[in-house]
Chains A and B, each alone.
Chain A
Amino acid sequence: TQLLEQSPQFLSIQEGENLTVYCNSSSVFSSLQWYRQEPGEGPVLLVTVVTGGEVKKLKRLTFQFGDARKDSSLHITAAQPGDTGLYLCAGAYDYKLSFGAGTTVTVRA
């Protein structure tokens, strides 16, 4: 089993603040994906990172894949209440995804 650990488990911040979520593993993945899940819905893909050291930006979200392709981070700048949700990282190997337990982010207005 290839395990992904996410930290922190919960994060509550004020609107306008920045936040970072971490995803770590001892395993190497062919790619790493970040999903966001809202209550009562399935996860929705935010980004896929493939190359070690890769950085991708999606508006106020910045995703980084570690050089060794074992870890990743998600940074949100100037968080807004609409960023509230469960953020899940998932490491891909072959056709499977191994998911972390998720980080619940709450952005207070």
Chain B
Amino acid sequence: GAGVSQSPSNKVTEKGKDVELRCDPISGHTALYWYRQRLGQGLEFLIYFQGNSAPDKSGLPSDRFSAERTGESVSTLTIQRTQQEDSAVYLCASSLAVGPYNEQFFGPGTRLTVL
């Protein structure tokens, strides 16, 4: 099973609680991306990790959002003090190479519902 995996698949939380989402990329993929997909909308870039380089956090919508990655493996996206507008599907993707043929392989996503 060499695909990108994400957990949990669904998360329901109460407004104000913190949540942590996990992504296991494909082994050997140095690049890892987090996206947010709101209902009926396209994917919104959140953050990008490439090897040991400083991550590109330019897409994070507020300081309540943060992400970490351990080397070239697992990544976690943390949302603190969740708000109802944070409800969305959070997708993780990994890729082997960077360039015009950069193919991103996506996980199934975590559906977050904030009540």
Question: Do these two chains interact?
Answer: yes
By a beta-carbon cutoff of 8 Å, the part of chain A in contact with chain B is: 4, 6, 30-31, 33, 40-45, 48, 50, 88, 90, 92, 95-102
Q: Shortest CB–CB separation between residue A58 and chain B, in angstroms?
A: 14
Evaluate contact between B108 and A40: CB separation under 8 angstroms: yes
A-side contacts of B40, CB under 8 Å: 101
A-side contacts of B107, CB under 8 Å: 42
A-side contacts of B45, CB under 8 Å: 96-98
A-side contacts of B31, CB under 8 Å: 95
Q: Shortest CB–CB separation between residue B75 and chain A, in angstroms?
A: 15
Given known pairs A40-B108, A99-B43, the reply for A31 and B48 (CB within 8 Å) is: no
Question: Chain B 1-25, CB within 8 Å of chain A: the 1/0 string?
Answer: 0001000000000000000000000
**B102 near A: Cβ within 8 Å?**
yes
Evaluate contact between B100 and A30: CB separation under 8 angstroms: yes
Size class of the contact patch on chain B: 20 to 34
Question: Which residues from 53 to 74 on chain B have a C-beta closer than 8 Å to any C-beta of chain A?
Answer: 56
Q: Shortest CB–CB separation between residue B15 and chain A, in angstroms?
A: 25
B-side contacts of A6, CB under 8 Å: 42
Question: In whole angstroms, what is the CA distance A90 to B35 when docked?
Answer: 13
Can you identify 26 A-B contacts, CB atoms within 8 angstroms?
A40-B109, A41-B106, A41-B109, A42-B93, A42-B109, A43-B43, A45-B104, A45-B105, A48-B100, A48-B101, A50-B100, A88-B43, A95-B48, A95-B56, A95-B102, A96-B45, A96-B48, A96-B56, A97-B45, A97-B102, A98-B45, A99-B35, A99-B42, A99-B43, A100-B42, A102-B41
A-side contacts of B98, CB under 8 Å: 95
Q: Can you name 9 extra interface pairs (CB under 8 A) apart from A41-B108, A45-B103, A96-B56?
A: A44-B106, A45-B105, A90-B43, A95-B98, A98-B45, A99-B35, A99-B42, A101-B41, A102-B42
Given known pairs A101-B41, A102-B42, the reply for A42 and B106 (CB within 8 Å) is: yes
Question: In whole angstroms, what is the CA distance A25 to B44 when docked?
Answer: 16
Given known pairs A31-B101, A95-B31, A97-B104, the reply for A42 and B91 (CB within 8 Å) is: yes
